[in-house]
Structure 1
Amino acid sequence: MAEVRVKSLSEQLRWQLIVIGLALFVVFSALLTFYSFQSMENAGDSWIRMEARSLIKQLELNSQTPLPDSRTMQAYRSWQEIPESLRRHFDQENLVSGEVYEVSIEDRPGKEEILFLLYHNAPSVGELYILSQYDADLIDGLLEDISTTVIKQSLMLTGGMMLILFVLVFWLLKRTSEPMRLLSQWAEKLRQEEHADRVSFPIAELNTLAGQLREGVDKITEYNRREQQFLKHASHELRTPLATIQACLDTLNFQIKGPETKTIDRALKASMDMSRLTTALLWLARDSDRPIAREPFEIESFTVRMVNEHQHLIVGRQLHIDYQVHCEELNIEKDLFAIVFANLLRNACQHSSTGTIFLQIYADHLTISNPVSQEVSQESYADYSSETGFGLGLQLVERICRKLGWEFRYQRAPHQVTASIFWRT
């Protein structure tokens, strides 16, 4: 799917306005041109009507007013008075009073003329036939001059109207986008600060949106505060009994000899793991950007110890762990790496189906992949891993990686799950 280019509100509206403006400009120009040509087409009718109206007024005032008899305009009292050369172009029976009729005639070979006829019948003046005859070339030239002038004036008028409209709409757009810009600045301040000053925008919907943003941020802030407080308290409460347990186990390990020491060693290991876990939880709860000190360690022995400690999870199952180490030493945050490593390996052991767990360690990343059955979904794997034993779960692993600047990848294939951790060397 093609990536959609993200635009600002003002940019989106600006381009839409330009497109609409160009469309309106074309439509208005076409309409003005159309009506202008319609007016020019009716120019002859309008002129003869005007002349006829003037003549009729004169006849109403003085019935003896002589009728015009020039080449361009003649008037007759009866149909028979009209010369046959002109009369034959019209049908008397279809004439309607007040209507103008127009025909094109060839007065001389190659010489075209336009003939107009207006029939008027009123009691005040009686029947009246008014004819007007003009050279077609003269009319075409006149119409061409008029059309050129009309088109220029139409374009100038349309352009002026569109310019005024553009200026007005851009001004309104700027006035409208200003509150949006203020809302964006206020939201940025709200993101950076826990408590931003309350603001009042001139648009009611923006005030509603600002209130919803503030309410959402306040809820998230309060949730994070409670979570951090719980982690701090829980970690502090755990450290004292863990220290006591570890001291007692050290004493027992010193006093007891023989096969029982294996059990004590496992208990000591679990106690140290819990101690590292509480330290990590406190570090997450502090929300501090202070970096954790790196520690170089030999990775081969570290991996062997981790694998051996998780062998009890695959006892009696057709499952084994195959590991490959491609470097001699790592220089990273050892305690946090041990927590992440142990958690991912434990999840792989607990949720694997029959087969082999592949574990590979490089200088810049760790990869653990395990087979899974079709019934085990990605969601159940992630949710279950966060509730089993004292493992951090994939969500907290992701939080540790994010805070350390590591990259955590989780991939699901039809019959395999792969978790990877990448760090900067």
Structure 2
Amino acid sequence: MRKGLSLKWVISGSFLLLIAVVLLIYSQLLSSYSVRGLLYTASAMMEEEALYFVRHYKKDPSLPPPQNYFFSSVIGKEALPPKIRQLLDTPPTLSFGAVQVFGELDADGQDEVKAILAQPLGDGKTLYMFDVDHDHEEGGEVETPLSDAYLDHELNSVNFISLAVFVPALIIIVLLVWWLVRPLGRLAQWSTTLKDPNAVSSQRPNFRFKEFNVLADSLAQSVQQVQAASLREGRLLRYTSHELRTPLAVLKANLELLALQSGGTLPPPLQRIERSVLNMQRIAETLLWMSRERLEPLPEEAIDMAKLFNELIQEHRYLIGKRDIELILDISNEPCRLPPTACRIVVGNFLRNALQYADEGSIEITFEQLQLRIVNRIRDTSQPEESSDFGYGLGLELMRQLCARLGWKIQVVTEQQRFTVTLDFNTTEPSASPQEHAEGDASEIN
């Protein structure tokens, strides 16, 4: 049997995945915004230097543009290096006030990024200030061991903080899930013992949480109600077995005595009583057998379906009355082995409904390859749904349950005043009711 996933590991794994995604996003945003922070610092320095130059340029227009190790400046766009002029003709990647940043931002510093500032001087001229990259100059790459060491230390601190958040969070989540799910597992394990009536009446274990205790009490109460209903049903079945079989047997014996006294033939009123007694006896046997939950299959015998239909038609012909109904039979002589009494009950029920509620016309009965099909016309009715008053409600539902227990398949189709019942005797997996009655001495079908 394939085992399902543990709830504890599903919840803890989900939280772990969530924390991992948050840390991944945090790491990506940290590197991106670190670069942005450095660019913002550089742009603020350039803008402050440009404003300082503007103040002094107004006093002395011959003042040369500011130059230092980190950035250079010129007056007029024509004085810019060709590469810088080309960048100004393209849209910037970022803008920090008067400073425009060109190029892709990369936390590793592999791609070249240029920051260019354009500051009007008030006399129609413009001061252009741009950062200078000395790494590509001969001997221009400068190592800053102290600063690099500080940056590495800060980055390592960030990684340590990430792990310090991740690992304890994982441990806390696992412990929290274990603390919450463990009572749920105990509840599930305890619920499997409720099949025993003694376990239901015993004291419920304490599941630590109020909600679990309330759920356990409700579950135990529901099981007790179901068991009480099963006991009541079992008693009803025993009473049905004892109390109904006795009057049915008395009626059947007295009808046999009356038949002997009248020369072997009963008058029509007594014949109707005899048929009703026989139907009651078969229905009682069917209900009792269905309620016994017997898992062993019913004994099968070779059945002559043509002979069975002839007997059933003779038994139920009185239902036709004065209506003009033609029976069209197409019964195959193929051998079949079926439970005789169950087969007689099901087929007799369908035939009885067909004869009793059919409109004038024909009733088609076919049996081939273990499949029975009964088609008859029905009277016009304003009720689109099946109704017990119309004759197919309770009886049809009872036959559905019986056939489901035997593994037979039923298909019912109602269309344009035609009622079609198809019964497939090819056995499938029988269905079983969840209730089991240990008691009851109902008669078995054989």
Contiguous gaps of at least 5 residues in structure 1: 1-5, 49-74, 90-101, 117-132, 388-392
Please give the secondary structure, in 2, of the residue aligned with 1:281: helix
Name the counterpart of 1:85.
64
Q: In the alignment, does 2:307 pair up with 1:301? A: yes
Name the counterpart of 2:398.
396
Name the counterpart of 1:165.
169
Superposed CA deviations along residues 358-390 of structure 1, whole A, max 9, x for unmatched, are 433346444444445563434425995456xxx
Rounded Cα–Cα distance in structure 1 between residues aligned with 2:339 and 2:229: 29
Rounded Cα–Cα distance in structure 2 between residues aligned with 1:146 and 1:302: 101
How do 1:39-50 residues align onto structure 2 when only pairs under 5 Å count? 39-41=37-39
Superposed CA deviations along residues 25-60 of structure 1, whole A, max 9, x for unmatched, are 343123322332244335569999xxxxxxxxxxxx
Equivalent of 2:215, from 201, 206, 209? 209
Alpha-carbon offset, residue 301 of structure 1: 0.8
Question: Compared with structure 1, are the counterparts of its residues 422 and 8 closer, same or farther at alpha carbon in structure 2 (3 Å cutoff)?
Answer: farther
Rounded Cα–Cα distance in structure 2 between residues aligned with 1:414 and 1:148: 84
Name the counterpart of 2:412.
411
Rounded Cα–Cα distance in structure 1 between residues aligned with 2:29 and 2:115: 27
Rounded Cα–Cα distance in structure 1 between residues aligned with 2:16 and 2:329: 64
Rounded Cα–Cα distance in structure 1 between residues aligned with 2:298 and 2:34: 82
Report the AA paired with residue 411 of structure 1.
Answer: V
Task: Check the 8 A contact 2:374/2:422 in 1, yes or no.
Answer: yes
Superposed CA deviations along residues 117-150 of structure 1, whole A, max 9, x for unmatched, are xxxxxxxxxxxxxxxx995436998899799957
Question: Compared with structure 1, are the counterparts of its residues 395 and 134 closer, same or farther at alpha carbon in structure 2 (3 Å cutoff)?
Answer: closer
Name the counterpart of 2:179.
175
Report the AA paired with residue 427 of structure 2.
Answer: R
Question: Compared with structure 1, are the counterparts of its residues 206 and 300 closer, same or farther at alpha carbon in structure 2 (3 Å cutoff)?
Answer: same
Name the counterpart of 2:230.
224
Name the counterpart of 1:244.
250
More helix by share: 1
Question: Compared with structure 1, are the counterparts of its residues 407 and 168 closer, same or farther at alpha carbon in structure 2 (3 Å cutoff)?
Answer: farther
Equivalent of 2:317, from 311, 318, 335? 311
Question: Compared with structure 1, are the counterparts of its residues 305 and 203 closer, same or farther at alpha carbon in structure 2 (3 Å cutoff)?
Answer: same
Rounded Cα–Cα distance in structure 1 between residues aligned with 2:27 and 2:155: 8
Alpha-carbon offset, residue 169 of structure 1: 2.6
Equivalent of 2:423, from 395, 420, 423? 420
Name the counterpart of 1:137.
134
Task: Check the 8 A contact 1:324/1:359 in 2, yes or no.
Answer: yes
Report the AA paired with residue 237 of structure 2.
Answer: L
Alpha-carbon offset, residue 10 of structure 1: 5.4
Question: Compared with structure 1, are the counterparts of its residues 187 and 341 closer, same or farther at alpha carbon in structure 2 (3 Å cutoff)?
Answer: farther
More displaced 10-residue stretch of structure 1: 322-331 or 202-211: 322-331
Please give the secondary structure, in 1, of the residue aligned with 2:199: coil
**What TM-score, normalized by structure 1, do the two folds share?**
0.64
Rounded Cα–Cα distance in structure 1 between residues aligned with 2:207 and 2:64: 82
**Percent sequence identity over matched residues?**
22
Tell me how large the CA RMSD over aligned residues is. Answer: 4.8
Question: Compared with structure 1, are the counterparts of its residues 196 and 238 closer, same or farther at alpha carbon in structure 2 (3 Å cutoff)?
Answer: same
Question: Compared with structure 1, are the counterparts of its residues 266 and 206 closer, same or farther at alpha carbon in structure 2 (3 Å cutoff)?
Answer: same
Question: Compared with structure 1, are the counterparts of its residues 398 and 177 closer, same or farther at alpha carbon in structure 2 (3 Å cutoff)?
Answer: farther
Name the counterpart of 1:51.
none
Question: Compared with structure 1, are the counterparts of its residues 263 and 412 closer, same or farther at alpha carbon in structure 2 (3 Å cutoff)?
Answer: same
Question: Compared with structure 1, are the counterparts of its residues 114 and 309 closer, same or farther at alpha carbon in structure 2 (3 Å cutoff)?
Answer: closer
Question: Compared with structure 1, are the counterparts of its residues 423 and 201 closer, same or farther at alpha carbon in structure 2 (3 Å cutoff)?
Answer: farther
Alpha-carbon offset, residue 153 of structure 1: 6.4
**What TM-score, normalized by structure 2, do the two folds share?**
0.62
Superposed CA deviations along residues 84-140 of structure 1, whole A, max 9, x for unmatched, are 3246x9xxxxxxxxxxxx965269996999999xxxxxxxxxxxxxxxx99543699
Q: In the alignment, does 2:196 pair up with 1:193? A: yes
Please give the secondary structure, in 2, of the residue aligned with 1:213: helix
Rounded Cα–Cα distance in structure 1 between residues aligned with 2:183 and 2:371: 48
Contiguous gaps of at least 5 residues in structure 2: 47-51, 85-113, 118-129, 429-446
Name the counterpart of 1:29.
27
More displaced 10-residue stretch of structure 1: 340-349 or 233-242: 340-349
Rounded Cα–Cα distance in structure 1 between residues aligned with 2:370 and 2:355: 23
Task: Check the 8 A contact 2:300/2:338 in 1, yes or no.
Answer: yes
Please give the secondary structure, in 2, of the residue aligned with 1:310: helix
Equivalent of 2:346, from 333, 337, 340? 340
